[in-house]
Chains A and B, each alone.
Chain A
Amino acid sequence: MKQYVGMEVSVALAEAVKLANADVIAAYPITPQTHIIEHLAELVASGELDAEYIPIESEHSAMSACLGSSAVGARTFTATAGQGLELMHEVLFVASAMRLPIVMAVANRAVSSPLSVWGDHSDVMACRDVGWIQIFAENGQEVVDNAICAFKMAEDNRVLLPVMLNLDGFHLSHMVEPVLMPEQKAVSDFLPLNNYPQPLNPDKPVAMGDFAPPVIFTEAKWAQEMSLRNSYSTILEVWDQFGKQFGRHYRPVEHYRTEGASTLLLTMGSFSETAMTAIDSLRDEGCKVGLIRLRLWRPFPFSDIREAVKGISNLIVLDRAISLGGPGGPAASEIKAAFYGEENKPKIVSFVAGLGGRDVTPKGFEEIITRGIEIAEKGSSNEYEIYGVRE
């Protein structure tokens, strides 16, 4: 029986990429992603991972190099954060439109200005519409397991889409956590060689990245949209297969103490673990609250979310990103939209908290939930509330 090992999550993630036997890693250093790529560079230098490590000159070029290596059929990984993800932004669209199965970890970080190297979800929320599969991990084990699953999802020939694995910068990336590293053989059995069906190959030339006039652009985009929507079933299949083989099970939406709840808090990423403590305290006080956690962000798990809140009166959505001048936190806005046409929908309250690495304590979560219930019952003139701002 394998033992849990205390590991920094970034290092564990790099070890998972090694287990996945990635061929090419192209990355540019940015806090708080650095420990991931440093460890990968070490693994390549030591020969433990037989890969090409491209120490590239920017994130824009990092993702561009990933396009190239993925297009020749190489298993490709990169990692970034915050500004780096924004610098990549333009290239992210191309990766998904070209259907290139790149896997990228994002150590989520705030976006300047003011400069902040600390965690929130502003970076990834600005990349909602780039056409990638997007997963949020809660702890080190989820990071490791989902990194391995990400390659399998991305490279599945029914999917062929890039996958973004989000882990909160510092709050998760720099934590030392007990992690169960899967055995190499088990990973190799689970994850076959990349079988990209249309590599750039002089024996069978393809042209990738044509120019599309208006008469064909809509068809091309719709084909891409269908590929992302249809990836949902394969994502579930991969998680199921992983669960069967490794005993750890993943779903698009996770539940914690939701039985008999009238109010649910929805979180993403590492907030969830602290939130659980708050839920426990409130339950002890007789408050009927539970927690749901959104693991799959794209494709958006409409049915799972609707199912999760059946019979619930209040849903409090906690975003770690601000949608400036918009209707509320990005996740809250989407969830409100998802329920708009539903008959028995809960009252949905949007909270923003934890920007730029600001901690939210268990007590803070309790305050958010209490205030959320109050807003749900009495209403509010605000589109959303921000937690913890000094007046």
Chain B
Amino acid sequence: MTKAENEITWKEINIGATVHEPGNASQYKTGDWRSNVPVVDFSKCIKCALCYIFCPEGCITKNDDGFFEIDMYYCKGCGICAEECPTDSIIMKEEKE
């Protein structure tokens, strides 16, 4: 884990304030930005992969059965997957606490 920015001392700043842990932004949770949540109905899914291709977060992955699953740690609930799904397998519902 990357040390939190409010704990880093000046001596711990990398040379030139560079970052040496590629992709470490993945530690940052964006899922709590969400007000709507996508709900997937696999029975309608034709595995076309459009949701995966168009997801701005890159948080949709293919599971062992070939269906596409959404990682709620990152999903911001934008609804593009639901909008672009050709079979309406994904619908957006209000996020419940």
CB neighbors of A among B1-52 (8 A): 5-6, 8-20, 22
Q: Which of A198, A215, A222 is in CB contact (< 8 Å) with B16?
A: A198
A213 to B8, CA, bound (A): 13
A212 to B16, CA, bound (A): 12
A240 to chain B: closest CB distance in Å?
Answer: 25
Chain A residue at minimum C-beta to C-beta distance from B12: A219
- Count residues of B near A (Cβ-Cβ below 8 Å): 16
B28 to chain A: closest CB distance in Å?
Answer: 13
A97 contacts partner chain B, Cβ-Cβ < 8 Å = yes
A216 to B12, CA, bound (A): 11
Q: Are A98 and B19 in contact (CB under 8 A)?
A: no
Give the chain B neighbours of A197 by CB distance below 8 A.
15
Indicate whether A223 sits within 8 Å of B13 (C-beta atoms), given known contacts A213-B5, A215-B5: yes
Q: Are A206 and B19 in contact (CB under 8 A)?
A: yes
Q: Are B13 and A98 in contact (CB under 8 A)?
A: no
A100 contacts partner chain B, Cβ-Cβ < 8 Å = yes
Q: Are B18 and A223 in contact (CB under 8 A)?
A: no
Indicate whether A223 sits within 8 Å of B5 (C-beta atoms), given known contacts A98-B16, A207-B19, A208-B16: no
Q: Are B17 and A212 in contact (CB under 8 A)?
A: yes
A226 contacts partner chain B, Cβ-Cβ < 8 Å = yes
Indicate whether A223 sits within 8 Å of B20 (C-beta atoms), given known contacts A213-B5, A216-B5: no
Q: Which residues of B contact A (CB under 8 A)?
A: 5-6, 8-20, 22
Q: Which residues of A contact B (CB under 8 A)?
A: 97-100, 160, 197-198, 205-208, 210, 212-213, 215-216, 218-220, 222-223, 226-227
Give 8 nearest A-B pairs by CB, closest first.
Answer: A99-B16, A207-B19, A223-B13, A205-B22, A219-B10, A222-B10, A98-B16, A220-B17
